[in-house]
């Protein structure tokens, strides 16, 4: 398999990951909203450290940029849609396997939350991880988790993994100086 074929496979895998995350996110939201009737129930205790707790997020990450009018809602849909397009274009240009996987996670999560905001006017959140009364995270959903994990992968790779440089090319440049 050539490098070009390998990169095409990585990109295809990134798109498949994005699609699967989108489908699983929307399916999980459907389950908590319709069969489990979480909006009417408010909360379902599952484990000592995890509940299903209904929350409508009218903002973006951690409630920033809260949309309180229809104009603001559609502005957020547009803004997050443009970010989604940028992530897609980045993924199409990227060559590193794990960066493509991370971008696929971000794209799939973004698509799930964009559909919520366009369809419902808010993002449906329900995952409530806690230790007693301490909540290390806000209430979130699968899309949020995938976006966060994807960003952490990108940051870790950018900060911790350095690509090997062509040493002979560097040596030649030093000799010419």
Catalytic positions, written as ranges:
125, 144
CA distance 25 to 35: 15
Closest CA to 28 of 112, 151, 92: 112
CA distance 78 to 22: 18
Enclosing H/E stretch for 43:
strand 43-47
CB 21 within 8 A of CB 104: yes
- Sheet strand arrangement including 123-129: 43-47, 50-57, 123-129
CA distance 173 to 100: 32
């Amino acid at each position: 398999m050539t490098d070009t074929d390998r990169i095409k496979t990585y990109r295809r895998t990134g798109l498949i990951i994005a699609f699967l995350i989108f489908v699983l996110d929307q399916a999980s939201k459907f389950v908590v909203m319709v069969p489990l009737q979480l909006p009417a129930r408010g909360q379902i205790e599952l484990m000592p450290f995890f509940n299903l707790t209904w929350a409508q997020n009218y903002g973006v990450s951690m409630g920033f940029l809260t949309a309180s009018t229809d104009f603001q809602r559609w502005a957020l849909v547009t803004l997050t849609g443009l970010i989604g397009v940028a992530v897609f274009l980045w993924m199409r240009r990227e060559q590193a396997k794990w960066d493509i996987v991370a971008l696929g996670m971000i794209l799939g999560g973004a698509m799930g939350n964009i559909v919520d905001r366009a369809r419902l006017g808010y993002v449906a959140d329900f995952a409530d991880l806690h230790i007693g009364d301490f909540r290390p995270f806000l209430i979130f959903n699968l899309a949020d988790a995938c976006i966060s994990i994807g960003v952490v992968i990108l940051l870790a790779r950018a900060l911790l993994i350095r690509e090997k440089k062509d040493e002979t090319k560097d040596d030649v440049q030093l000799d010419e100086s």
